[in-house]
Amino acid sequence: MHIMEGFLPSPWWQIWVVLSAPFVIMGFYALRRMVRENREALPLLAVAGAFVFVLSSLKLPSVTGSCSHPTGTGLGSVLFGPFIASVLALIVLVYQALFLAHGGISTLGANIFSMGIAGPVVAYAIFIAGKKVGINEIVTIFFAAACANIVTYVVTSFQLALAFPAEVGGFMASFMTFGAIFAITQIPLAIIEGLVIALVFKYIVQLKPEILIRIGVITQERAERLREGWA
């Protein structure tokens, strides 16, 4: 999903910076409030951030014969909400832009929008909806994380298609081309990412359900039900 340095012409890179900035600023406020009010949730925040680090560094081969990477933003988004997840994504994207020339500073706004905003918002919405309907949290979190991954790459295709509409067929033709490069490669990786994050969520419920209850991710009653299921 990384749009490389210099690969978004004006005005597109500015537009994505303007769209992303308020969200990230909200993220910093949410983060500051969370750190002040829930100090015992800090290790969990570290785990969520660390997952974005690990997963976005792994380039996995996919069925299309090319490699791409998971995003890892689903976990942070489900646990702490999409605003804080956007800050976690920002940290990783800056690391990769500065040290790896993967992504870029001029394209940071666009890359945050796809990986740090669009993906996490969808993951969060799926998790909240699943909780309302009463589906098992492990199943919902699988779909939330997998969809966060896919949506990130669909949004990247969308961003590139807007900036580079095809001469024949315009935006839609270009969107299909970029979609073929990104989104299809991503489907198997999204499934694996969803499973890994569901597994980690299971271990958090087993080890530290009280933190999840405290930050409002699951209720006491649901935590006990889930733990009984694995006993």
* Distance between CA atoms of residues 145 and 168, nearest Å: 35
* Residue 7 Cα distances to 106, 118, 189, 191, angstroms: 8, 20, 25, 29
Q: Are 123 and 148 contacting, i.e. CB atoms less than 8 angstroms apart? A: yes
Q: Contacts by 63-70 with C-beta closer than 8 Å and gap 24+? A: 63/184, 63/185, 63/187, 63/188, 64/184, 64/185, 66/181, 66/185, 67/185, 68/153, 68/182, 68/185, 68/186, 68/189, 69/189, 70/149, 70/189, 70/190, 70/192, 70/193, 70/196
Determine whether 134 is exposed, middle or buried from the number of CB atoms within 10 Å of its CB (0-12, 13-18, 19+): exposed
Among 66, 170, 219, 225, binds another protein (CB under 8 A): 66
Total number of residues that touch another protein (CB under 8 A): 66
Contact between 59 and another protein per CB under 8 A: yes
Contact between 208 and another protein per CB under 8 A: yes
Among 65, 133, 168, 221, binds another protein (CB under 8 A): 65
Amino acid identity of residue 201, one-letter, is F
Contact between 6 and another protein per CB under 8 A: yes
Binders of another protein in range 160-179 (CB under 8 A): 160, 164, 177-178
CB 109 to another protein: min, Å: 14
Q: Which region, judged by CB under 8 A, interacts with another protein, from 1-9, 21-29, 115-123, 124-132?
A: 1-9
Contact between 228 and another protein per CB under 8 A: no
* Distance between CA atoms of residues 147 and 143, nearest Å: 6
Contact between 182 and another protein per CB under 8 A: yes
Binders of another protein in range 90-109 (CB under 8 A): 92, 95-102, 104, 106
End-to-end alpha carbon distance in the chain: 40
Q: Which region, judged by CB under 8 A, interacts with another protein, from 15-23, 31-39, 88-96, 125-133?
A: 88-96
Contact between 47 and another protein per CB under 8 A: yes
Nearer to another protein, 86 or 174 (CB): 174
Q: Are 74 and 141 contacting, i.e. CB atoms less than 8 angstroms apart? A: yes
Binding site for another protein (CB under 8 A): 1-7, 9-10, 43-44, 46-47, 49-59, 61, 63-68, 92, 95-102, 104, 106, 138, 156, 160, 164, 177-178, 181-182, 185-186, 188, 191-192, 195-196, 198-199, 202-203, 207-208, 229-231
